[in-house]
Amino acid sequence: MKLPFAYLVGLIFGLGISLSGMANPAKVINFFDVAGTWDPSLAFVMGGGVIVTFIGYRLVLSRSKPLFERDFGLPKRTDIDARLIGGSLIFGVGWGIAGYCPGGALPALGTGNLTVLLFVVALLAGIVLTRIGETYLSDKEGTANG
C-alpha cells in the first residue's frame, strides 16, 4: 500500500501547488516585490499549509507509528550551523532569480513546459554536483585526518 499512498500524496501536493499559484514564477516573484507589483497570495499558501500541517501532525504524531512503516522518520537535529544558514541564503538567491523552488517546479513539469524542464535539469545538476563535491571534500578530510 506504500506506493499508491505515495502517489496519492504527490497528486494532492501537485494539485495544491497548481491551485495555489506556486507553479507560476511571475506570481512567486511578485510576492517578494513589495516595492513593485506586489501580490501577497504566497502568504496564504504558506498560512494554509502550515495550519493544516500543524493540526494534522499533532493528531498523527500522537500515534505510536505510521500505518505502513515501523517508525516516524523525523529530523532530529536542533543545532543551527553555518551550512543551514548559508545554504538557505543561497537557495533564496536562486529562487529570486528563477522564480521556482523545487516544490513549485516538480508539479509544473507535469504540464510539459520546456522552461520548467530547463529549471529542473539545472536543479538536478546543482543537487548532484553539491553531493559529489561534499563526498570529495569529506574523503579528502578523512585521508588528511587518517
Partner 1 sequence: MITEFTPIASLIGGALIGLAAVVLMLTLGRVMGATGILAGAIFPSGSGDRGWRIALLLGMLSGPWLFKLISGAFPVIDVPMSPLMITVGGLIVGIGVTLGSGCTSGHGVCGLARISRRSLIAVLSFMFSTAVTVYVIRHVLGIG
For the segment 93-122, give every residue that binds partner 1 (CB under 8 A). 93-104, 106-111, 113, 115-116, 118-122
Q: Give the nearer residue to partner 1 in terms of CB position, either 121 or 140.
A: 121
Q: Give the nearer residue to partner 1 in terms of CB position, either 111 or 146.
A: 111
Q: Is 77 a residue that touches partner 1 (CB under 8 A)?
A: yes
Question: What is the smallest separation between the CB atom of 64 and partner 1, expressed in angstroms?
Answer: 11
The C-alpha cell at 55 is: 493540526
Q: Give the nearer residue to partner 1 in terms of CB position, either 81 or 146.
A: 81
Query: Residue length, the chain?
Result: 146
Q: Is 64 a residue that touches partner 1 (CB under 8 A)?
A: no
Distance, in Å, from the CA atom of 120 to the CA atom of 15, rounded to the nearest integer, reads 19
Distance, in Å, from the CA atom of 41 to the CA atom of 60, rounded to the nearest integer, reads 28
Which of residues 62, 79, 143, 146 is near partner 1 by CB under 8 A?
Answer: 79
Distance, in Å, from the CA atom of 114 to the CA atom of 105, rounded to the nearest integer, reads 11
User: 109 and 120 in contact (C-beta within 8 Å)?
Assistant: yes
Q: Is 141 a residue that touches partner 1 (CB under 8 A)?
A: no
Looking at residue 55, its amino acid is: I
Which of residues 33, 138, 140, 141 is near partner 1 by CB under 8 A?
Answer: 33
Distance, in Å, from the CA atom of 78 to the CA atom of 80, rounded to the nearest integer, reads 7
Distance, in Å, from the CA atom of 125 to the CA atom of 131, rounded to the nearest integer, reads 10
Q: Is 137 a residue that touches partner 1 (CB under 8 A)?
A: no
Q: Give the nearer residue to partner 1 in terms of CB position, either 69 or 146.
A: 69
